[in-house]
């Protein structure tokens, strides 16, 4: 399949994912409103509702970021810049675009960006990740990662 055909196919995939995310986000927001409107029965119910609100909120945040990335990719397609690395202006390999359809950097530029703390998560609020109220010494063993 020629690159142009593959990009047209990718456009359809991005549009379907965009529409699915929009629907999911609309549902997530209405669910949060419903949860807030209900009165809590007891402290345990309130805690569970609060935890569910937080999970839903975080999920909505992740979905919102993905939606913004998809919108950016679709705009780049309209501008004729889709598949062109924003870092070095080289073509992003189709294998990378198949894996991450809204990629704006080739693998080398992405690695360079991450090395300097810019790419994915580069604008993260690390104060929320680390508990600085303790002794200040944090090792990799102190961080739990769910896989």
Beta-carbon contacts of residue 52 (< 8 Å; ≥ 6 apart): 35
Query: Going by C-beta distance under 8 Å and a sequence separation of 6 or more, which residues neighbour residue 85?
Result: 91, 92, 104, 105, 106, 109
One domain for residues 119 and 47? no
Q: What is the pLDDT of residue 136?
A: 57
Task: Give 125's DSSP letter.
Answer: -
Residue 69 confidence (pLDDT) above 80: yes
pLDDT band at 21 (very low <50, low <70, confident <90, very high): confident
Please tell me whether residues 42 and 57 are part of one structural domain: yes
Structural domain of 112: 83-124
Residue 35: partners with Cβ closer than 8 Å, 6 or more residues away: 49, 52, 53, 56
For the whole model, what pTM was predicted?
0.59
The reply to whether 136 falls in a domain is no
| pLDDT for 45 | 66
Judgement on whether residues 61 and 114 belong to the same structural domain of the protein: no
Rounded distance between C-alpha atoms, residue 101 and residue 69, angstroms: 9
The pLDDT of residue 127 is 46
Nearest-CA neighbor of 85 among 108, 67, 69, 68? Answer: 108
Same domain, yes or no: 14 and 31:
yes
How large is the average pLDDT for residues 73-90?
A: 94
45 plus 94 within the same structural domain: no
């Amino acid at each position: 399949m020629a690159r142009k055909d593959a990009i047209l196919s990718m456009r359809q995939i991005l549009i379907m994912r965009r529409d699915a995310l929009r629907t999911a986000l609309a549902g997530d927001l209405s669910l949060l409103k419903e949860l807030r409107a209900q009165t809590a029965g007891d402290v345990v119910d309130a805690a569970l509702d609060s935890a569910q609100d937080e999970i839903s909120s975080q999920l909505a945040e992740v979905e919102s970021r993905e939606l913004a990335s998809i919108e950016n990719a679709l705009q780049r397609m309209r501008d004729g810049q889709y598949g062109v690395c924003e870092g070095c202006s080289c073509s992003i390999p189709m294998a990378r675009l198949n894996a991450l359809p809204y990629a704006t950097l080739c693998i080398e530029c992405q690695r360079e960006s991450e090395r300097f703390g810019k790419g994915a998560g580069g604008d993260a609020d690390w104060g929320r990740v680390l508990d600085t109220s303790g002794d200040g010494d944090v090792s990799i063993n102190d961080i739990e990662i769910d896989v």
